[in-house]
Amino acid sequence: MPLGGGQSGFGSGGTAGVGTSLNYIGDHAYSNSGELASNTSAVTHLSFNTESKYIVGRVTCFGATNISNIAVGRTSVFQVKFNSEIIATLKTDTAEEDMPTVVYTELLIPPYTRVDVTCLSDASSADRFTSAIVVGRVY
C-alpha cells in the first residue's frame, strides 16, 4: 500500500519515475525529484506525506551543475522539513569546488509526517540543475 503517493510498487511514472511523491517497492520507499533548474527562490524538489509506518533512510542532494559546461556551477542550500519544521539545512557548492557537490543526511521519518525538500541557489539558471532523492526502508 502506498504511504505517500503513487501506486503500491509503482510511482507515477513507473518504478523509475520522478516527481515529488513517495513511491514504494516492497518494503522500500523512494522519491526522486529529477533535475530542476536552479533558482534564487526556493524550489520544491520533494513533497509527500507518510502514513502509518516510519521510514529509516537518507536524503541526498545534488548541487547545481551544467552538463554542457561542467566548469560552471552554483552554491545551493537544501532544506528538509518535517511538518513545516526545518530539521536539516544542507549546502552544496559546485562553483568553487571547495565544498561537497553532493550532500546527504540520514533520516528517521515518523508516521503521519509531511516531508518537504526545497532548494535555493545563489543564481537562477535555465541550464544549471539541482536534484534530491529520498531512499529508505519502511517499518
For 26-75, write each residue's pLDDT tens digit. 999 999 999 999 999 999 999 999 989 999 999 999 999 888 888 778 89
- pLDDT tens-digit map of 70-109: 877 889 999 999 999 999 999 999 887 678 899 999 999 9
CATH code for the domain of 113? 2.60.120.380
d(CA 136, CA 24): 10
**Residue found by looking up cell 535555465 in the block:** 126
- Looking at the domain assignment, is residue 2 inside a domain? no
- Looking at the domain assignment, is residue 12 inside a domain? no
The number of domains in the chain is: 1
- Looking at the domain assignment, is residue 18 inside a domain? no
Q: Does 6 have pLDDT greater than 50?
A: no
- Looking at the domain assignment, is residue 58 inside a domain? yes
d(CA 50, CA 78): 20
What range does the domain containing 106 cover? Answer: 23-138
Q: Is 23 exposed, middle or buried (0-12, 13-18, 19+ CB in 10 A)?
A: buried
CB 133 within 8 A of CB 79: no
How many angstroms separate the Cα of 83 from the Cα of each of 8, 110, 120, 132?
24, 10, 19, 18
The pTM assigned to this predicted structure is 0.86
